[in-house]
Structure 1
Amino acid sequence: MHINKCRVLSDPPDQPLLPIEEAAASHREILKRHIGTLTNNLENAETVYKKQDENTWELKRKMEKRREELDRECEEIKSFFEVEHDKIDKDLLMEENDAEEKLIENERQISYHRFRLSSLLSQTEEKCLQTDEDLLTGIERIHNSYGNRETPAVFSCELEKEIFTLPPHYLGLHEMIGTFQVELTLDPETAHPDLIMSSDRKSVIYRRPDGLPNPQAPTSSPAVLSSEEVDAGRHFWAVEIIGAGECFLGVCKESFVINTPMSPSANNGYWQYQLLTRTCGVVPTGQRKIGIFLDYELGEISFYNLNKWSYMYGIADKFTEKLIPYFSIASSSESLTVGIIRV
C-alpha cells in the first residue's frame, strides 16, 4: 500500500519525509499552541483597550469636574468682587461725605472772612470821609478790628488711599485664609521661662527688666510651641507682632527640642522666617501681621505680609514627621509681643 508523505517548506531540508496524517497532527499541535498564545494576547489587548477606554472617560470626567470647579471659582470670585465693591463703595461714600463736610466748613470760614473784610473796608472808607471830630470818635474800635486778617487756607482735598487697588496675592490670600485658616493655641509646657503667656494662650511677651540679656539663657531664642500638630494637609495661621525686637516664626519637627543650646536650622528639623522691628530706621514699627501657610504634602511653607497682602518668603523641603507651629522672641529684644490672631 502506498503511503503519502510530505515535507512542509519551513522544515529543514535534511528532515525525513513524514506521512501526511503525522505531519498534519504535528503542525496542528503547533497551531493550537499559537491559538492559545494569541487568545491570551487578545485577552490582554482587550483588557488594555478596556482600561484605555476607562482612562479616556476618566479624563473626560476629570476635565468636566475641573470645568465645574472653574465655573464655581469664577462665581465665587464674582461674588467676592460684588461684596468688595459694595464695601469699597461704602468706604468711598464715607470718605466723600467727610471731605465734603470739611470743604463746606472751610468755604463757610472763607465766606465769613470775606464778609468781615468787606464790612471793615466799608467802615474804614466811611470813617475817612468824616469830620475830624467824628473821625476821632470811636477810632480805637476801628483800629482794633484790623487784627486777625489772615485768610483761611484752602482745604486740600486729597483721598487718603487708593482703596480700590487690589495688591498682588489679594484674592489668593483671601481664598487661602477662608479655606485653610486654623485655630491655634500655645502650649504652656513648652514655653521658655522668660516668656509670659496670656490667659487665653494666644500670645506671649518678652521683656528685659534689667536691660541685659539673661546670661543663663540658651543660645537659641526663647520659644514656645503650638498645642496643635500637623502631619497632613494645608493649614494657615496668622501672627501679630507688637513692639520692637526680633522674632522667629515657623514650624519644627515633633522631635526637635526647643529652648536648648542647639541652634534651630532645617538640618535639625526647624524651618523659620526671621522678622525684625525697630523703633526707628527703615524697618517698619508698630503692629505687624504675618500669615503662615503650610502645605505638608507639597513640602512648602510660605510667609505673607498681611499689612500689605503680599508674599514675603518661602521654604521648600520634604516633611516626613509631625510638624508643630513654632514662635520665638530673641533675648535681645526690647519689648515684643507675639500673638496668634484670626484674619
Structure 2
Amino acid sequence: MSAASCLLTEDQFLCSICLDVFTDPVTIPCGHNFCESCISKHWKTNTSCQCPNCKRVFNPKPELHVNTFISEMSAQFRQSIHVSVRMCEKHDKLLELFCKNEQMCVCMLCSVKDHRTHDVVPLREEYEGKKAELGKTEAEIPQMIQERRLKIEELKESVELSHKKADREIDEVVEVFTALKESVERSQAKLIHTIKEKQRETEEQAEGFITELQQEICELEKRSSELEQLSCSEDHLHLLQNFTTLNAAPPTKNWTEVRVHPPSYEGAVKLFEAELKRVQQCEVDVTLDPDTAHPKLLLSKDGKQVYDSDVKKNLPDNPKRFNCCVCVLAKQSLSSGRFYFEVQVKGKTEWDLGVVRESINRKVRVSLSPKNGFWTIWLRNKNEYGALADPSVRLRLRSDPEKVWVFVDYEEGLVSFYDVDAAALIYSFTACSFTGKLLPYFCPCNNNRGKNSAPLIISPVNHTE
C-alpha cells in the first residue's frame, strides 16, 4: 500500500468541494470521490443530485457508503502532511497558498480571513519563482566568490603597503623624538649647570663679604677696648701720646652700598626659548566649531575669536552643542602624537582653557576635572588662577599671562600650559590616561556687564628665525 501511495499525487487526496484532504470519502456512481458531508450538503442545497465534477444527474438519489480504501489512503496522506508541516496549525487545513506581504504560507481559510487584502498566490507558483531565483543566484555565486577573493587579495596588498608605510613613519617618528629627547636632556643638564654655577658664585661673593665684616667687627671690638682703657687712665702723658692714633676711624668699606644680587637666569630663558622653537613644530591651525558653541557665544568669521554676547540666540539644537556652559570646541582633534596652539587671554577677567575628551556630556553642567574628561586651567576675579585637577590646585603666578601656550603629548599623557611671554610653566597634567579623541576647549566665561568682554583669540605662533 505504501508503494502505491508514492505513485499518487497530492490532488488525488483532495475533495473538489472543500479543497481539503478527504474526510470520510464516498464514491458516487460516476466514479468521482467527495467528503461524505460535502456531497450531502451539496445535494441538499440543489434541486437535483448532480455530480459537481461531471454534472451527471442521479435519480433517485444514490445511497452513500464510505470508501474504506480511499479513506485509509487519505489518512496516511494527512499524516505525512502533518509530519512535513504542510498543515495550517490554526485551521488544520493544507498550506497551499503564499502571502507575499508577510512572506508566509497560508491555507484557504487564512487567505479569506486574515490575508484577504494581501497579495496571495498559489504555493506552487511562488515555489517555481523562488526556485528560478535560486537557480540564478546559484549561477552567480561562483562569480561573486571570485570577486570577493580578488577583493581579499587587493585588501591584503593594501594592508601590506600600509604596514610598510606605518613602519617607515614609526622609524621617522622615533628618530625625530629620540633626537628631540636627547636635545632636551642636554638642554636640561646645561640649564641646571648654569643655575648652579651662578648660585655658587653668589654664595662665594656673600661669604667673602661676611668674612670681611667679621674681621672689621674684631678690629672694632679691639679698638673699643683700648679706648675704654685709655679713657680710664690717669697718666696724662700716655693719654696725649696715644689719643690721635686710637681715636682715628678704622678703615672700612661703605657697606650700605654693598649688595648681593640674585643670579640672572637669562641663559635659562634662552634655553626655554630654544625648546619652544622645537615644540612649535607641532603647531596645529586650530579653528572654532560653531556647531558646538553655546547660543550666547559669538564667533568671528575666521573661527579664531570667541566672546560672550550676553544674548542667547535661537539656534537649532544638536548633539554637539553645549547647552549649559558658555564654551566652544575646536574642529581639530588629536588621537595620537603632539598638539600645540596658543591663545591670547589679554584683557580678560575670567576664562577657561584646555583640552577635553570628545565624548564629554555637553547638555548638563559637570565639574571640570580629568575624571570627567577635562584637562583645563582657569582664571577668576582677574588674578585667581587654578588648575582643575583631582582635587583642584590653586596657582600662584609671578605675572598675569597675556598669551597661553597649550601643549599635549598624547602618548606621554601630558597636558602643559605655559606663559609664552614670561617663558614660564603655568601647570602640567602628567600621567594622564587618554582614550579616544581630544579637542581644544575654550570658555570665555560670562560677559559680566562688559567687564569681561574681551575675546579669547587663537593666535598664530610667532616663529622666530
TM-score (normalizing by structure 1) = 0.46
Question: Which of the pair has more CA radius of gyration?
Answer: 2
Higher relative contact order (CA 8 A, sep 6+): 1
